[in-house]
Amino acid sequence: MSHSPPDRPETRLISLDWGTTSLRAYRLGDEGEVLEVRATDDGLMQVQDGDFAGVLQRAVGDWIDASESAAIIASGMVTARTGWKETPYVRCPGNPDAIAGQLQTVAAKPNASNDRFVHLVPGMDCLRSDGLPDVMRGEETQLLGLNADAGARTVVLPGTHSKWVSMDANTVRSFQTTMTGETFAVLSEHSILRLMMHGESTEQELSSDAFLSGVETARDAGGHILARLFGARTLPLTGALPESQTADWLSGLLIAGEIAGMLAEPDGRYSNTPISLVGNAALSDRYRLAFNAFDIDADQLPARNVTATGHWRIAQAASLV
């Protein structure tokens, strides 16, 4: 067993958030506290010839070697078909115990004498009440890193493919993916609406007025957006909206379309629970503003280190730490 100097506390868990375009690594101490973070571009797309072990070594080999007893755990697209090893989904409802029971392992150093493994956290799937299957990979770990003492609630993870998750304590009961972010992206970049998109919504300061106008338009339409989208062309065409704010209007329209649709889900699952947002601050801000237009005060949870905390809890459930 190695002995770390006092200024470098012992590593108990190496936590890897390994996606398509990035690898984020956390070094956790005895109590699951984050001691060190590394963010690299070593996503799946950077891995040559399936040499995940080599990329891992390059990214955190020093952490691994310095702490022989530290467990290593990873989640994200690294468990997809294009990843290190494809893992079967854990079926909803699931909690850390359920996931811990389905961890898969790969050798961290294929030819080394000591047995070091990477424990892969599978994604989750569920059969939704609307009959459609749904899947997530990586988000399950974030969810398990949230406050585990909270009761029945809805956690919204905004993004390219937003997730609406029904949780109870530390159990993921069910979830739904909405393609809001990607619909915004393809309409902005590839439809006739692109001609009016002279401001890049996500890279400039939000025009709250335009955003809220889009929100209210979708809300007042009961969330039916198809017959409102053309407004992103006619409003700037007629001078009613500056072209630089058209992207914000469309963003508001789509986010409120998502919210109205989810609140109107036939089984009513999202209309009776408190709602919490977890995600990057700018996008969560937009969602919070949009929720306000529906008279909903959505709680914005800190997203920092939730993946590391989720890994710690799964590792505890699996007796890895």
Burial of residue 218 (CB within 10 Å: 0-12, 13-18, 19+) is buried
Confirm or reject binding of residue 282 to its own copies (CB under 8 A). no
Out of 45, 107, 132, 195, name the contact with its own copies by CB under 8 A: 132
Confirm or reject binding of residue 234 to its own copies (CB under 8 A). yes
Stretch that binds its own copies, among 61-69, 70-78, 104-112, 216-224 (CB under 8 A): 216-224
Out of 37, 45, 192, 195, name the contact with its own copies by CB under 8 A: 192
Residue 116 contacts residue 56 (beta carbons within 8 Å): no
Confirm or reject binding of residue 140 to its own copies (CB under 8 A). no
Out of 179, 296, 301, 303, name the contact with its own copies by CB under 8 A: 179
Out of 59, 260, 277, 314, name the contact with its own copies by CB under 8 A: 260
Residue 208 contacts residue 289 (beta carbons within 8 Å): yes
Q: How far is CA 226 from the centre of its chain?
A: 27
Q: How many helices and strands, by DSSP H and E, does the chain display?
A: 9, 14
Residue 318 contacts residue 103 (beta carbons within 8 Å): yes
Is the CB of 45 or the CB of 132 nearer to its own copies?
132
Stretch that binds its own copies, among 36-44, 166-174, 259-267, 287-295 (CB under 8 A): 259-267
Confirm or reject binding of residue 195 to its own copies (CB under 8 A). no
Residue 181 contacts residue 188 (beta carbons within 8 Å): no
Is the CB of 20 or the CB of 22 nearer to its own copies?
20
Q: What is the C-alpha to C-alpha distance for residues 201 and 245, in angstroms, rounded to an integer?
A: 8
Out of 72, 187, 197, 206, name the contact with its own copies by CB under 8 A: 187
Stretch that binds its own copies, among 1-9, 114-122, 220-228, 296-304 (CB under 8 A): 220-228
Least distance from its own copies to the Cβ atom of residue 224, Å: 3
Could you say which DSSP state residue 284 is in? Answer: H
Confirm or reject binding of residue 223 to its own copies (CB under 8 A). yes
- Tell me, by CB under 8 A, how many residues bind its own copies: 49
Please name every residue paired with 16 in a beta bridge, in sequence order, or none if there are none.
Answer: 25, 74
- Residue type at 96 in one-letter notation: P
Least distance from its own copies to the Cβ atom of residue 101, Å: 22
Stretch that binds its own copies, among 71-79, 202-210, 230-238, 308-316 (CB under 8 A): 230-238
Collapsing DSSP to helix, strand or coil, 105 comes out as strand
Confirm or reject binding of residue 190 to its own copies (CB under 8 A). yes
Residue 180 contacts residue 157 (beta carbons within 8 Å): no
Confirm or reject binding of residue 201 to its own copies (CB under 8 A). no
- Residue type at 113 in one-letter notation: S
Out of 2, 105, 147, 191, name the contact with its own copies by CB under 8 A: 191
Is the CB of 15 or the CB of 87 nearer to its own copies?
87
Least distance from its own copies to the Cβ atom of residue 107, Å: 28
Characterize 175-200 residue by residue with b for buried, 16 or more Cβ atoms within 10 angstroms of its Cβ, and e for exposed. Answer: bbbbebbebbeebbeeeebeebbebe
Crossing angle of the two packed helices 246-263 and 208-220, in degrees rounded to 10: 40
Residues 238-242: contacts with CB under 8 Å, at least 24 apart: 241/210, 241/213, 242/210
- Most distant CA atoms of the chain, gap in Å: 72
Contact residues toward its own copies (CB under 8 A) are 130-135, 161, 164, 176-180, 182-183, 185-187, 189-192, 217, 220-231, 234-235, 237-238, 240, 254, 257-258, 260-262, 264-266
